[in-house]
Amino acid sequence: MKYVLVTGGVVSGLGKGVTASSIGVLLKACGLRVTAIKIDPYLNTDAGTLAPFEHGEVFVLDDGGEVNLDLGNYERFLDIKLTRDNNITTGKIYQFVINKERKGDYLGKTVQVVPHITNAIQEWIERVAKIPVDGNEGPADVCIIELGGTIGATIFSGHNDSGILDAGDIESMPFIEALGQFSYRVGPGNFCLVHVSLVPVLDAVGEQKTKPTQHSVRSLRGLGLMPNILACRSTKPLDENIKEKLSQFCHIPVANIITLNDVTNIWHIPLLLREQKAHEAFIKLLKLQGIAKEPMLEEWTIIARIYDISHDPVRIAMVGKYTGLSDSYISVLKALSHASIACHKKLVVDWVPSSDLEDSTKAEAPDLYRAAWRRLRGADGILVPGGFGDRGVEGKILAVKYARENNVPFLGICLGMQISVIEFARSVMNLEDANSTEFDPDTTNPCVVFMPEGCKTHLGGMMRLGSRRTYFEVADSKAAKLYGNVSFVDERHRHRYEVNPSMITEFEKAGLAFVGKDETKRRMEIVELHTHPYFIGVQFHPEFKSRPGKPSALFSGLVGAACGQLELLLQNPSHCGTLTRRLTTSNGFSPTQSHQNGNSKDLQQAMASHPLNPTRTGMGIRRSPLRGCHTGTSAPMAMECMSDE
């Protein structure tokens, strides 16, 4: 087993997650099997109880693991299925060690951070690295390890305006020590350290500054970790003299100093690494000569290129509670992006804080109220994602009502589905106090209720989590057609409330169709309004299984309906992925398995003849430092999409 450790320095938010994922893509394109581990030094056992404003969305895995959003990056980029153990936290490690101590496994010895905690970390990494994650038997060839946190960050204090450099968060120290020991134990040729750092450009002089990176590398060395490759974030490619300076002061060969400059979209990052021959550095450092092949990334190039040349916009209003931080909905954004690329549309997300749609905002902040409704009414499609708590719920209900009454394409996810049921009960069935018991425990018309197997005393890990099977009850429903007319789909869940089973008959008599149910046929999974062009709500989270080139069926339906391609999609569900079909042999993917269900389909496409294929056109990799991720109201630099902190 070979190990690649990715650390970050100077500041957080540089994009370690996307960098680690892109390294994995590059190595996978070299014919290697790749797995990934994310280390989060916080004391939480997992991400399940963290608020979205803390670390972004909680990503859910097939096994029900609630993990850091970076594991979503790994799964999307590498097309793998990770486990909860692929996300290591301080809480997990200490819990593991304390449980062993309680059982007497340490034979009366004093349990200490060194060696017991550090040994537990190393044992965990080695064990998890051997778990197959790509559908094949046996362990992977390379394990990418991302260490969360920042090493060598600048801290300013009232006593020192010039700033000082710290060695990282206190809780990171056991992991840093363990990884230093681990690198020594596995030996040269089996371990490679990539340090992602910042090379800022001062506007006043336009000069690239290396001092922050020099200090960060020095801090890393002082902790016993020696970087082999330096990945430098900057607004533009590093000048050769800057690389030579970094090489001299950081003791890293110039060939191993890589520029991660601003690009138009994150799918250029693996191409950027290949262009700078990063794969050759990895092959040499990990002694993979004769095993790894030259990376072929033509299909990846096509996806990046389609994103760049698509100019016809499709506007999707995202009506949510956490719109102040886009990372709160990062998987939803990626799923929308995958679908829009497949439909050759430029995605524009208009963020609509749900509370701004409510009458209380109209009275208190009329400008916000008018702006929110203007964005909602100007959208081609409306999406209400998942969430918890009652803040902004009435605004979401108003958004669903607008979509239903005005035939605007609508997709509701998890809470979004429950909201659509509540709105239908109020507006169509005239049940004025219809609500969820989550928001009104005393409602006389509880459309949404707490699941009987749920737990009200503990929050962590107590929801209905992970991959669950949904059976289609109506074969000619839009959802069934979009999934390829299969009998069932396996999707990931994260909820503790459900549509009230005792009210299903009333809903269906009123015209609301529950076209997908669980194996008991008592739990509602998919709801549709047949009289509407596209009105679908799902209890599960389809965004978690969307991939570049393999967009989620329901997100494809939303974007297709929003841009006039729905009928074509319903007739031929594979249409929306024709040009961005599975990244086949060059990325090591199997071309014969449908992504979201158990039915086998031949998805291999004749990509070579397509006019966008770079091998036909001689198209180069465009690296212009354009700004903006096309997410509506704000336009941060494109590499903002790489942010993982």
Give the C-alpha separation, 145 to 138, whole Å: 19
Peptide bond into 446 cis (omega under 30): no
DSSP secondary structure letter of residue 519: T
Rounded to the nearest 10 degrees, how much is the dihedral formed by the CA atoms of 165, 170, 171, 176?
Answer: 60
Encoded tokens for 324: 């102040």
Give the C-alpha separation, 493 to 252, whole Å: 45
CB 370 within 8 A of CB 389: no
Q: What are phi and psi of 140, to 5 degrees?
A: -75, 170
DSSP secondary structure letter of residue 117: I
Please list the alpha-helical segments (H only) found in 107-239: 118-129, 173-186, 211-222
Expressed in angstroms, the distance from the first to the final Cα of the chain is 28
Encoded tokens for 386: 């998942």
Q: How far is CA 27 from CA 36, 79, 586, 592, in A?
A: 12, 13, 11, 22
Q: How far is CA 227 from CA 120, 223, 252, in A?
A: 23, 11, 8
Helix (H, G, I), strand (E, B) or coil at 23: helix
Contacts 24+ apart (CB under 8 A), 585-591: 585/296, 586/29, 586/295, 586/296, 586/297, 586/298, 586/299, 586/300, 587/25, 587/28, 587/29, 587/79, 587/297, 587/299, 587/300, 588/28, 588/29, 588/31, 588/32, 588/33, 588/134, 589/79, 590/135
Q: Annotated active-site positions, please?
A: 414, 541, 543
CB 399 within 8 A of CB 352: yes
191-198: strand order across its sheet: 87-89, 34-40, 142-147, 2-8, 191-198, 229-234, 257-261
Helix (H, G, I), strand (E, B) or coil at 327: helix
- Burial of 600 per CB tally in 10 Å (0-12, 13-18, 19+): exposed
CB 478 within 8 A of CB 570: yes
Give the C-alpha separation, 146 to 131, whole Å: 17
Q: How far is CA 499 from CA 51, 352, 518, in A?
A: 24, 25, 12
Give the C-alpha separation, 279 to 290, whole Å: 13
Which of left, alpha, beta for 79 (phi over 0: left; psi -120 to 50: alpha)? left
CB 642 within 8 A of CB 266: yes
Helix (H, G, I), strand (E, B) or coil at 517: strand
CB 132 within 8 A of CB 82: no
CB 18 within 8 A of CB 270: no
Q: Are strands 59-60 and 66-67 parallel, antiparallel or unpaired?
A: antiparallel
